[in-house]
Structures are given as structure tokens and as C-alpha cells.
Structure 1
Amino acid sequence: MAEHKSEPESGEGGTSSLGATVRTLAQTLWFPAFFFTGFLVCYLLPFHNPVPHHVDVAVAGPSAGQLEHALEQKSPGSFDIHQVADADAARDAVTNRDATAGFVPDAKSPQLFVAKADGYSLESVLQKTFTSVAQQSGGQLKMQDVAPTAPGDGMGTGLFYLVLACTIPSYVSVMMLLRATTFGRRKKVATFVAVGVVESVVAFFVARGMDVIPNEPLAIPLVFLMTQAVALTSYGLVPFFKQFFPGVAMGLFVLLSMPSSGGAIPVQMVPGFFRALHPIMPMGNLIEALRGLFYFDSKDIGRPVMVICAWVLAGIALILLGAWKDRRAERKEAAEAAEPEPPVEDPSFELPQPAAVAPHTHRMGQQEPTLTGMVTDERGHPLQGVAITVTGTQGRELVRAITDEHGEYAASGLPDHFVNVIASSPDRLAAVARVLARDGHPARQDFRLAPRHAAAHTAGV
């Protein structure tokens, strides 16, 4: 009679089922929920109503104090006024990046010096504000753009999209290479460097071809540094945050970095939290460095470049620390002094999972085997249909495979620790081996199984 299993009716079984459902939903939906909340807070908040905050304006002549008082009454906290000697000094303050704008009061023809390279929306706010100031004194404002953007960058947001095009792929390349189980740490880092070179060169020439940026090849190494800041730091975070790594990396380099970059909306027009992040995040520092290189005669590009280099060094330090952590765990595992560390698992992304794969089958997009082997009989002939079971050192089954007609088997996505490999067949004696599975170093374990009758005959003798 077939065994009948009934569903739990109530009480403990129902509570357990509900708890399992809640845990499954939490494990699978945490990342989209995090991303949804992050976009609402980090994009809707700074972009829904951008207003100027402490925009520095150099004013020529002795009337700077009166103008500051008038603007403070009309728009509190919007503008910071400081006095300069004359019109040339006001203009130089903008071109030297000492001020965002320069204003020269005059009863008939007041002048406003602006830099469109700092952002079109900021230029529009300055024009509107100081047109009103000029009209109150009966004059007509003359505006001069002392740092115009490239002809193909009419809205002044070209740098933002150029940098964005190299930021997100740098992070995504880390996510994809986590699946490359046959690539060790060095090969993955080398791949990040190669991808960064391609991204920076292609992005520069595409933007140049569209006339979005001036012809300054020094931009290529600057963009390359930023790609490495994102890729190396993201990769270095993996061993420490495990399944929460996507949320941490996306939070850093997308949710926080983009609104604080000053590329889409000038940094002077976003809330204080994002203005405080602007000098720290790599995306904002690259945009500042490129603006200085392209439009301000390389003025003040040293500091942002140093910040980007600091991110690169931080990424390298995290990778080295992760390598030391892995070696320490391997030594402990080899000495059986600690429990094995679970592999990185994130249900929101397709990271490597233990699975049986077909031997000698390598198609684009498939995982490469981390464990292979062959099972033969006592004469060396291949055995088909032998069950291969891979378990962790605590006995938990990780994957189960069956040998093919050539007696071969393969498995992928195994954790970077010792595993037990068991070969078993109904008519043969089972065999067990302990194997060290390592990322980027495929292991091989062959078995030779003796028949059960031969063992029984030997025991009888």
C-alpha cells in the first residue's frame, strides 16, 4: 500500500509552514525591496525640487554687503556673497573655481559671469536670480559664460552619463565574474583591469565622436582609475558581506554615488546629506576632475584624483584581507579546528550553486566544473551509473551526480573548503575521498570500485 502523507492541519505544522514562507520571501525579496526604498529616498528626495544651497558668488565693488543682505532675505541660505576688487577679479574667481558665479553691479549694465560646465540648471537659477536683481536697479543683465560645455553637451549633463556608463558595468562585471568558478582571484582582478581599460578607451572615443567632451586624452586614465575604484572595492567586499554584498555595493556606487555626484543636478542644489557625500564618493570626484580638466585648465583636479586613488587602494586592501581570511580558514579546516564557512549565496543574483554538470561540455554561460573524475572497475574499465555524492565536512549533501558512459562525472559551484566525495553502486563497494575544492583550481578525484562478491569471497577465505 502506498504511503499517504497528509498536510498539517493546524497548530505547530501550520506555524512552521508560515515561518518557512516568511523566511523564503525575506530571503528572495530583500534586494528589490532595498532597491525600491533606496530609489525613493536617494533619487526622489534630492531631485524632486532642487534649490540652491550656499552658492558662492564673487561680487565686485563695495555693494557686496547690501546684495548679500537682500538675497538672504529673499532666499535664506541660497547664496554666499564675498567681495572682490573689480570685474576682472569676479571673472577670475569663476575661471579659477574660487566661486560659482561672479557679479558686477552697475546701474545700467550689470554683468554676471557663470560657468555652464558647473551645470545648466545652476546656470538657469543664477540667471533668474540676478536678472531680478538687475531689474530692481533699472539695469539689463549681461550674462557671460566663461566655461561653456562642448558643443554636443547642450544641457551640461554629458559628463554624468559618460561616468555613469563606466560605473555600473564595473560593478556588474564583478557580479558576473563571481560565476566564473575556474577563475582564481588573480585572474578575476586581471579581468577587472582589462575591462576597465576597454571601458575608459571606448567611452572616451564615443563621447569624443559625439562632441560631448573636448579632446583631452588625459581623461582616459582618470576614467580607468574610477572603474578600478568601483570594481576592486566591490570585489573586495564580497567575502565580508556575502549574500548582502549586492545591497552594500549597489548602495555605495548607485544609490548614494549618483545623486551626490553633481552630474545630473549640480551638487549646490541637492540636500545637505548628498552635498556631504560629494567630496567622498568616486563618481562625484571623477566628474569634478573631468570638469577641471576639460573646462578650467586642469584647475583643482589633484584632490579628486587622490580620492579616487584612495578608493582603488581600499579595494586592493580589501582583496588582500579577503585572501588572508580565506587562507586562514583553509588552514583551520585542514586542521579540523573550525567549522567550514558557508559559501556566498544570494538568491537575488545567480551566484555559483553546487550542481552536477556534464563532463567535457563547456558552453557559453555555463559554469565550469570545480570537481571532475572517473570511476572504473578493478580492471580499469569505466563504470556507468555510479552515484557520486558530495557532502560538506559536517555531512550536509551539496550535490549528487551520476557517471556517464565513459565513467566520468563533474560538479560545479562547490565551496572553497574540503568536501567529502562518495562513490557508490549497488553491486560494488563504496569509496570515499576528501578533496579540497578551490575557486579557480579545479580538483580531480578518480575511484576504482571493487565488486561486492569479491570482497565477500575474500572475507570467507
Structure 2
Amino acid sequence: MAENAENAGNTAHAKGKADPESTGGGTSTLRATVRTLAETLWFPAFFFTGFLVCYLLPFHNPVPHHVEVAVAGPSAAQLEQALEHKSPGAFDIHQVADARAAQDAVTDREATAAYVPDAEHPKLYVAKADGYSLESVLQKTFTGVAQQSGGRLQVHEAAPTAPGDGMGTGLFYLVLACTIPSYVSVMMLLRATTLGRRKKVVTLVSIGVVESVVAFLVARSMEVVPNEPLAIPLIFLMTQAVALTSYGLVPFCKQFFPGVAMGLFVLLSMPSSGGAIPVQMVPGFFRALHPIMPMGNLIEALRGLFYFDGKDVWQHTLVICAWVLAGVALIALGAWKERRAARKEARAEETAAAAELSAEPPVEDPSFELPRPSAVAPHSRRAGLHEPDLTGRVTDEHGRPLPGVAITVTGTHGRELVRAITDQHGEYAAAGLPDQFVNVIASSPDRLAAVARLQIRDGHPIRHDFRLAPRPVPV
């Protein structure tokens, strides 16, 4: 009994010692959990916040800001004072000579609307192509102006939209249909580890060709846009502005790429595009972005092409081309950065430098899990599985397959990247390896180990076979 009591005391003492460690372990686990959740959920949190700020803010109560209105005759100054008193900052009035000049100001895109005062039949020239909601605000405002002078307002449509675009928002949805897929295509191609940079760029260009042609033909069949085929190359340029710039940002933004690209081409581009809500009715920050972002420039270029006799089309096209060139420059800079890192790695290996200069790690996309070094089943080609970067077969001295052999892949300075085991056919495979030189070691308890030094390159799968000799029998 005394012995049992002593054992019980020792057990209690041992538990007492273990409690602080358990508490510390629980704290470490909690920290690891919080860190994992933060790394995993930052993107939806960013997206949620971005939509609240970038969509709810400009769209919840759109009001006119500095809408250019041409007014015929000498009453322009008096009308400007009256409108400024009623709606400060809403309208910018400038005087033109007569009714003809007022109408020309709208069709030449020098003014958003034009007003011709008259005691009985004042006229308002508007352009539905600039957006139905803006047209409604203008009609409401100048109906009140006409009633104060005792007249009845006559509204004239200076730039009507296509028959299938009654709300004047068709261009926005046409452009939107080509913007988001261009960005998503880049995210999906990041998973295609067997495709090199050149093939990915060619793929993005090909996708842009298909998108622009199909989008225009579908919109034309619905009578959302007029029959102007010149719109196809304009749409194509915009798809490349988004796709190539997004792809070029990958090596610089790394795991933050989804947030940067989505922020540029969704959260900022759409509210500032002037497609859903006219740019004259959103806050100043988004009005300032309108001349810069590719989506807004494409919408303005298409409006000029379809409804304003080509006015300012080339000006907006040049902005889109600047985005395309920026994307090409980023891709070239990323390629140079990768080659520079490879040269440094090779020099470091040759001189046996102590500092590890590892190749650029794969981008982490919280929406889509990108490849990590891992062993995969040989000859697996099912959808959703990564293609292997390294494959091979291990045989004995007679060429017979050796199952159960350990294949260890290490970095240039000994850090283990992945470990695989050969199958019944003596074959092995590994995927998600970084672009760098690696050491591949084949080992088995009853065989002499073999080592190979290989260079892994994105889009260039490599195969290496081993032949293991038996260990000599000790004498």
C-alpha cells in the first residue's frame, strides 16, 4: 500500500510538471492557428473590405459632380449662378453662340449636355451613350429650370444607344465580361507548372483573341452594340492590358498578387470606369482614376467609336496600349530577375559560398493552392493534379525494377525538399520543385546509394534513372 501511495505521488508530481508544458503547447498551437487563419483568410477579408469601400461608397448615392453643360445665348452666367446655388459643384456651365453650337458641343464630346433657353420651348440635348442615370438627372434638373421660365422642356437625344442597350450600360457588361476572365486566366495558368513563361504568354494572347471576337459577336447579336468590327482589336488590347500586367506582377507581388491584381482591375477599375454609374456621378477619387484605368478607357473608346463619330478613340487607345507595354516590361523584368537569380545560384555553388541563394519560391494564391514540393504517383494525369517536374526509374544491376527505394531531393545546400518511395515498377515522381539545381539521392539498406545533380526549370520536366549496385558482403 505504501508503494502504491508513493507511485500515486510520483504520478501527481509528474502531471504537475507537465501542466506548464501543456499550457505552453496550447499557446503555441493557438498562435499557429491564428497565423494560419490570417495567412489563409487575408484575401477574402481584403475583398470584403474593398467591395464595401470601392462599391458601396461610390454607388450608394450617386450625385452629379462638375457636369459640363453648354448653354446657348447670354443667359449662361445667370443660369450658372442659379444652379450653383441649388446644387453646389454639380454643373459647370459654359456659353456657346447658338442652338447649333450647343448641339455640336454634345456630339463633339465637349459637353455632356446642352441647354437652349426659350420662353416657350426650351431645348435640352443629352446623350444616353454617356449613361441613362446621368441623362435622368439632367432631364429632372432642366425641367425645373424650364418651368421656372414658364416653358415646357423639349429633350433631344444627341447620341442614342443601340436598340438592345436601353439603359446605356451594355458597354460596361461587355467590357466586364472580358476583364475578369483575363485576370482569372493568369491565376489558373500559375498552376500549369509544365508550361514555361513563353507558352503562358502565348496562351494569354490566344485567350484574348477568343474573348474579344466572341464578346463582340454576342453583343452584336443582342443589338447591344452597333456593327463596328473595329471594336474587336480595342477589346483585345484591353484583355492584354489586364492579363499581361497581372502576369508580370506575379514575381514581384508573390503571395500578395491576387490582392494587388484584383484591387487594380476589379475594386478600382469598375467603379471608376463610368460604365455602371457615369463617372460624373462618383466621388472625386474614382473620377481621378477614370483617365488612367484600362477599363474606363476602353468604355470611352467604344463610346467614341459607336456613338460620337470616332471622337477621342485614339487618345483612350494609347492609354490601353501603355498598360500592355507595362505588362510586357514587367514580364521581361521578371525573366531577367529569374536569370539573375539562377546565375547567382550557380556562382554560389561553384565557390561553395555559405549563404544560400535559393531560387524564387512559387507564388502562393489563397484562392487556388499552388504547387509545393511533393511526391506524386508516377504516370498520374488526372485533372486537378500537378504535372511532375522530376520522374525516373530505379533498377538493379540487371535492369530489374527496385520497389521501396527512398528518393530524397535536396537543395544545393542540403535542405530536404521532398522524399518519395519507388513503386512496384521502381518508378518515382515529384512535383512542385523550385527552379534551381537540386541533388537527387536514391538509397536502399541493401544497395549502394547513388546521387545525381539536376537543374529544375519551370515548363521543362526532367527524367533521371538510377541503377543501384548491391552492397559488398563484408569478409
TM-score (norm 1): 0.95
Task: Pick the aligned partner of 1:389 from 408, 417, 428.
Answer: 408
Shift in Å at residue 7 of structure 1?
A: 8.4
Task: Pick the aligned partner of 1:339 from 350, 357, 360.
Answer: 357
Question: Quick check: 1:8–1:14 contact (8 Å CA) kept in 2?
Answer: no
Tell me what 2:11 maps to: none
Q: Deviations over 1:278-333 (max 9, x none)?
A: 00000000000000000001111111100000000000000000000000111111
Question: Quick check: 2:362–2:370 contact (8 Å CA) kept in 1?
Answer: no
Shift in Å at residue 380 of structure 1?
A: 1.9
Question: Quick check: 2:43–2:366 contact (8 Å CA) kept in 1?
Answer: no
Tell me what 1:414 maps to: 433
User: Residues 371-386 of structure 1: matches in 2 within 5 Å?
Assistant: 371-386=390-405
Shift in Å at residue 26 of structure 1?
A: 1.0
Root mean square deviation of aligned Cα = 1.6
Shift in Å at residue 342 of structure 1?
A: 2.8
Tell me what 1:68 maps to: 80
Tell me what 1:117 maps to: 129
User: Residues 24-173 of structure 1: matches in 2 within 5 Å?
Assistant: 24-173=36-185
Give, in whole Å, the separation in 1 of the partners of 2:95 and 2:369: 59
Tell me what 2:10 maps to: none
Give, in whole Å, the separation in 2 of the partners of 1:305 and 1:7: 69
Question: Quick check: 2:420–2:429 contact (8 Å CA) kept in 1?
Answer: yes
- The letter for the 2-side match of 1:359 is P
- The letter for the 2-side match of 1:448 is R
Tell me what 1:355 maps to: 374
Tell me what 1:427 maps to: 446
Task: Pick the aligned partner of 2:308 from 296, 300, 310.
Answer: 296
Task: Pick the aligned partner of 2:276 from 264, 276, 291.
Answer: 264
- The letter for the 2-side match of 1:294 is F
1:405 partnered with 2:424: yes
Structure 1 SS opposite 2:163: coil
Give, in whole Å, the separation in 2 of the partners of 1:448 and 1:134: 94
User: Residues 429-444 of structure 1: matches in 2 within 5 Å?
Assistant: 429-444=448-463
Give, in whole Å, the separation in 2 of the partners of 1:202 and 1:365: 27
Shift in Å at residue 224 of structure 1?
A: 0.3
Structure 1 SS opposite 2:428: strand
Q: CA 1:419–1:344 in 2, change beyond 3 Å: closer, same or farther? A: farther
Give, in whole Å, the separation in 2 of the partners of 1:285 and 1:8: 63
1:328 partnered with 2:346: no
Question: Quick check: 1:29–1:348 contact (8 Å CA) kept in 2?
Answer: no
Structure 1 SS opposite 2:164: coil
- The letter for the 1-side match of 2:75 is S
Structure 1 SS opposite 2:272: coil
Comparing 81-90 with 420-429, greater Cα deviation is found at 420-429
Structure 2 SS opposite 1:232: helix
User: Residues 140-219 of structure 1: matches in 2 within 5 Å?
Assistant: 140-219=152-231
- The letter for the 2-side match of 1:50 is P
Structure 2 SS opposite 1:259: helix
Tell me what 1:310 maps to: 322
Structure 2 SS opposite 1:331: helix
Shift in Å at residue 387 of structure 1?
A: 1.8
Q: Deviations over 1:41-91 (max 9, x none)?
A: 000000000000000000000000000000000000000000000000000
Give, in whole Å, the separation in 2 of the partners of 1:43 and 1:110: 37
Q: Deviations over 1:401-450 (max 9, x none)?
A: 22122211111111111222221222222222222111101122221112
Task: Pick the aligned partner of 1:244 from 230, 234, 256.
Answer: 256
Q: Deviations over 1:123-160 (max 9, x none)?
A: 00000000000010111000011101111011111000
Give, in whole Å, the separation in 2 of the partners of 1:23 and 1:432: 38
- The letter for the 2-side match of 1:289 is A
Task: Pick the aligned partner of 1:228 from 240, 260, 275.
Answer: 240
Gaps of 5+ in 1: none
Give, in whole Å, the separation in 2 of the partners of 1:447 and 1:149: 70
Larger Rg: 1 or 2?
Answer: 2
Give, in whole Å, the separation in 1 of the partners of 2:30 and 2:378: 40
Structure 2 SS opposite 1:401: strand
Q: Deviations over 1:369-411 (max 9, x none)?
A: 1111111112222111212122333444332222122211111
Give, in whole Å, the separation in 2 of the partners of 1:368 and 1:12: 41
- The letter for the 1-side match of 2:90 is S
Comparing 167-176 with 395-404, greater Cα deviation is found at 395-404
Question: Quick check: 1:127–1:143 contact (8 Å CA) kept in 2?
Answer: yes
Q: CA 1:354–1:387 in 2, change beyond 3 Å: closer, same or farther? A: same
Give, in whole Å, the separation in 1 of the partners of 2:65 and 2:223: 31
Give, in whole Å, the separation in 2 of the partners of 1:176 and 1:8: 47
Residue correspondences, number: 452
Give, in whole Å, the separation in 1 of the partners of 2:218 and 2:409: 50
Give, in whole Å, the separation in 1 of the partners of 2:377 and 2:322: 44
Comparing 403-412 with 347-356, greater Cα deviation is found at 347-356
Sequence identity (%)? 82
User: Residues 445-460 of structure 1: matches in 2 within 5 Å?
Assistant: 445-452=464-471, 454=472, 456-457=473-474, 460=475
